[in-house]
Amino acid sequence: MKEKTEFKIGDTVILNEKGRRAVKNINPDTVFVVDSVSEDGTICSCFFRRIDLYSTEIEHYQTFTNSSQATKEQMLEELTKQMLETFKKKNADYGDSTTQTFKEFGLTSYTIRLNDKLNRIKSFCKKGELEVKDEKIIDTLMDMSAYCLLAAIDIKEQKGSDDKGTF
């Protein structure tokens, strides 16, 4: 007989190693808060207005019984790992296109990329839904974070890390 789940509303959870192997519909580094628990133990998280249902197997998760245990630092660490993995995959597909564009057009290249992402978020806020269903708002925010960091790297490389000028 399956062990009854013991999730509580408000729990902050993340997949553990066993869960990463068993659960395929969640990005393995996603940290989320349990919003509801169904009778069969399925947990639900309303993440940026999108409702997701997850595995009932409590042994698939590391559970923090309250948000103070899952510190912002832990969440930031997990999101940063996720951002790095996404960057590696995209870099394999696109090459170093951001740096090449930066060398050609300067900081304007990042401004345009960030503005495109911001417009996507604005559109979502107005409509309440996304046209491209495969990409979530969190993905757009993560892309923006990556672009900001890549811009900082390119600026430092261009100006020198000890430059005290405008950048």
In a domain, 6, yes or no: no
42 and 22 in one domain?
A: yes
**pLDDT at site 154:** 94
79 and 33 in one domain?
A: no
Ranges in the chain, pLDDT < 70: 1-7, 14-32, 40-71, 133-134, 161-167
In a domain, 164, yes or no: no
127 and 95 in one domain?
A: yes
82 and 56 in one domain?
A: no
- Domain end: 20, 37, 64, which one? 64
112 and 84 in one domain?
A: yes
**pLDDT at site 48:** 41
In a domain, 3, yes or no: no
In a domain, 106, yes or no: yes
Smallest Cα–Cα separation from 7: which of 51, 42, 52? 42
Number of structural domains (the chain) is 2
**pLDDT at site 49:** 41
154 and 94 in one domain?
A: yes
**pLDDT at site 119:** 93
100 and 60 in one domain?
A: no
**pLDDT at site 50:** 44
33 and 94 in one domain?
A: no
Question: Alpha helix (H) ranges present in 15-71?
Answer: 17-22
In a domain, 103, yes or no: yes
- Domain end: 20, 45, 64, which one? 64
148 and 112 in one domain?
A: yes
**pLDDT at site 161:** 53
79 and 59 in one domain?
A: no
83 and 139 in one domain?
A: yes
Interatomic CA distance for residues 71 and 74, integer angstroms: 5
Give the H or E element holding residue 54.
strand 50-54
Query: Domain range for residue 19?
Result: 12-64
77 and 129 in one domain?
A: yes
Sign of the C-alpha dihedral, residues 31, 37, 42, 45? negative
**pLDDT at site 67:** 52
pLDDT digits (tens, 9 = 90+) for 87-116: 898 888 988 899 999 999 999 999 999 999
Token pair listed for 86: 């996404």
The answer to whether the pTM exceeds 0.75 is no
